[in-house]
């Protein structure tokens, strides 16, 4: 064999040994991640072959047959869009028209802040993307700040601020015994936090508890925030799902605006327009003046650019088509109310069924709580029994997505809850 061929084989053998050694170490330290506490429930549900299985895990609306719903206003918007749009990139800040319409829902149709161009706002990848963009913005421009998060909260809030490397503190919110708001402790925590702290607030239909402050309590909170110079960041993922009316559900935000706060808001169309998979939402930050808003928006865009460049087009077009047309907007408002009312009906049905079964426990909180979720009070062990014995899937904190309850499964669900709640 020629000298060169022998040498090259030797080099190849040696380099492939080195290559193999490195290859075996690249990801050798990677352990499987823990299952997501919410989306992991959907995975387990899908893998269960039982015909009687019920999914009340993820917060996604279902009709009374348990089927996902595409709203009629969305169908009509898609018909109008079909063939009329190109596939160009949106700007880094997303669809200007969609953002404009979205701000009206949160800040008010005739908001002076919109007129005065004091709001820095960008289209976001739904509510999660809005929260994450804000968390990154907070880290970049207030690097020493922390975020106060309610106990409990949507599990992903913790992940979002953790990954943005913003330290987290908690504040009291839910009272397990009353199954309502722990308002006194909440106010104490607001008072005791260092001046100028960041707080994450759920604007309406608190996830997972379904417990919201009353209007009066929001006013007291706003007053105290002012006294302490705190910053309120509202996550409004369920506008319309609390009362059936998006305008009423924006009350908490309007109270803070009336009191002169500069706030941030995460908005989402996943739930109230049923655009879950389209990932369309908005992050806005109310600023001191137009100049500041221009600067803040440019920085939000600069954060977005290396992450995903610019947001997706289709969902944004659907939203702007609906909200930009008075008839379609009215149809949407009606459809939101239908969804909210079906959930309210299911709350009553679940409670009545449990009471008819002679459950000695109080189930009043099922109808007192609002929005998509019922924080049942079931323990993680009782939830495990619901899943293993009855094929009913929900998060281990006892949260029931009322949107997954139907006239067809409410009796089965009540019976199973009654059985597992007999033992603590
Ligand atoms: C939920 O809380 O179930 C929803 O917001 C879905 C999700 O992404 O967690």
User: Which pLDDT score, from 0 to 100, does residue 4 have?
Assistant: 61
Using 70 as the pLDDT threshold, list the residues of the chain that sit under it.
1-13
Q: Where are the beta strands (DSSP E) in 155-308?
A: 168-172, 174-175, 180-181, 198-202, 231-236, 264-268, 281-286
Q: Flag whether 10 is in a domain.
A: no
CA atoms of 54 and 417, how far apart (whole Å): 13
Does residue 300 sit in the same domain as residue 169? yes
Query: How far apart (Å, rounded) are the C-alpha atoms in residues 329 and 248?
Result: 16
Choose among 282, 314, 252: nearest CA to 104.
Answer: 282
Q: Please indicate, yes or no, if residue 7 is contained in any of the structural domains.
A: no
DSSP 8-state code for residue 277: G
How far is residue 339 from each of residues 42, 206, 211, 321, measured CA to CA in Å?
A: 21, 17, 19, 21
Structure tokens at 56: 């009340």
- Tell me the C-alpha to C-alpha distance, in Å, between residue 422 and each of 55, 252, 370, 385: 22, 38, 25, 12
Q: Which atom of ligand 1 is nearest to the CA of 270?
A: 5
Looking at the structure, tell me whether residues 392 and 311 fall in a common domain.
no
Does 404 reside within a domain? yes
> In terms of residue numbers, what domain contains 284?
90-324
pLDDT, tens digit, 9 for 90 and up, residues 161-172: 999 999 999 999
Instruction: Say whether 165 sits in a helix, a strand or coil.
Output: coil
Kindly report the CATH number assigned to the domain that includes residue 376: 3.90.1150.10
Phi, psi of 315 (to 5 degrees): -60, -40
DSSP bridge partners of 281: 124, 268
Asked whether residue 1 is domain-assigned, the answer is no
- Residue 192 C-alpha to ligand 1 middle, in angstroms? 31
289 shares a domain with 163: yes
Q: What's the pLDDT at 316? A: 98
Q: What is the pLDDT of residue 5?
A: 58
What is the sign, positive or negative, of the torsion defined by CA atoms of 193, 195, 200, 201? positive
Is residue 83 assigned to a domain? no
Model's pTM, two decimal places? 0.94
Contact 412, 67 (CB under 8 A): no
Q: How far is the CA of 237 from the centre of ligand 1 (A)?
A: 9
Together in a domain, 41 and 168: no
Same domain, 218 and 265: yes
Residues annotated as catalytic are 154, 235, 271
Q: Which atom of ligand 1 is nearest to the CA of 57?
A: 3
Are 179 and 220 found together in one domain?
yes
Question: Number of folded domains in the chain?
Answer: 2
Looking at the fold, whether 186 and 51 belong to one and the same domain comes out as no
Q: What is the pLDDT of residue 51?
A: 94
Question: Do 400 and 296 share a structural domain?
Answer: no
What is the CA(56)–ligand 1 centre distance, in A?
Answer: 11
Rounded CA separation 231/412 (Å) = 45
Residue 200 sits in the same domain as residue 291: yes
Say if 113 falls within a structural domain.
yes
Atom of ligand 1 nearest to the CA of 59: 3
CATH number (domain holding residue 110)? 3.40.640.10
Enumerate residues lining ligand 1, CB below 6 A.
Answer: 38, 58-59, 154, 156, 207
Both 65 and 179 in one domain: the answer is no
What's the 58 CA to ligand 1 centre distance in angstroms?
6
Residue 20: inside a domain, yes or no? no
**Kind of pairing, strands 281-286 and 264-268?**
antiparallel
What is the distance, to the nearest Å, from the Cα of residue 13 to the centroid of all Cα atoms in its chain? Answer: 53
Nearest CA to ligand 1 atom 1: 59
Based on the fold, state whether residues 294 and 399 are members of the same structural domain.
Answer: no
Per-residue pLDDT, 404: 96
Ligand 1 mutation target, pool 35, 36, 38, most atoms within 8 A of CB: 38
Are 370 and 207 within 8 A, CB to CB?
A: no
Q: Hey, whose CA ends up nearest to atom 5 of ligand 1?
A: 59
């Amino acid at each position: 064999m020629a000298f060169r061929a022998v040498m090259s084989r030797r080099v190849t053998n040696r380099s492939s040994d080195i290559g193999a050694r490195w290859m075996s170490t690249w990801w050798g330290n990677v352990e499987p991640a823990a299952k997501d506490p919410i989306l992991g429930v959907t995975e387990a549900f899908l893998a269960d072959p039982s015909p009687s299985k019920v999914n009340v895990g993820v917060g996604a609306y279902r009709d009374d047959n348990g089927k996902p719903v595409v709203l009629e206003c969305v169908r009509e918007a898609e018909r109008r869009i079909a063939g009329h749009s190109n596939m160009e990139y949106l700007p880094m800040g997303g669809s200007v028209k969609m953002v404009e319409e979205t701000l009206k829902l949160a800040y008010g149709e005739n908001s002076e802040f919109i007129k005065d161009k004091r709001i820095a706002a960008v289209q976001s990848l739904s509510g999660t993307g809005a929260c994450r963009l804000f968390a990154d913005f907070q880290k970049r421009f207030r690097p020493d700040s922390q975020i106060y998060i309610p106990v409990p909260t949507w599990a992903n809030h913790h992940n979002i601020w953790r990954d943005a490397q913003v330290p987290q503190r908690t504040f009291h919110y839910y009272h397990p015994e009353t199954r309502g708001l722990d308002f006194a402790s909440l106010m104490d925590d607001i008072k005791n936090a260092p001046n100028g702290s960041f707080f994450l607030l759920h604007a309406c239909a608190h996830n997972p508890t379904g417990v919201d402050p009353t209007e009066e309590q929001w006013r007291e909170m706003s007053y105290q925030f002012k006294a302490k110079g705190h910053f309120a960041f509202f996550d409004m993922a369920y506008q319309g799902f609390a009362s059936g009316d998006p305008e009423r559900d924006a009350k908490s935000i309007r109270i803070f605006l009336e009191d002169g706060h500069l706030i941030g808001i995460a908005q989402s169309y996943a739930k109230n327009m049923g655009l879950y998979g389209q990932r369309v939402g908005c992050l806005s930050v109310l600023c001191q003046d137009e100049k500041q808003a221009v600067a803040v928006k440019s920085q939000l865009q600069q954060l977005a650019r290396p992450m995903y460049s610019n947001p997706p087009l289709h969902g944004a077009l659907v939203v702007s088509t609906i909200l930009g047309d008075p008839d379609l907007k009215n149809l949407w408002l009606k459809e939101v109310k239908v969804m909210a009312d079906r959930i309210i009906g299911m709350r009553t049905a679940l409670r009545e069924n449990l009471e008819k079964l002679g459950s000695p426990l109080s189930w009043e909180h099922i109808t007192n709580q609002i929005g998509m979720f019922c924080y049942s009070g079931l323990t993680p062990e009782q939830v495990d029994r619901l899943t293993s014995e009855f094929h009913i899937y929900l998060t281990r904190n006892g949260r029931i997505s009322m949107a997954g309850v139907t006239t067809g499964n409410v009796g089965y669900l009540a019976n199973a809850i009654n059985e597992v709640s007999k033992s603590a």
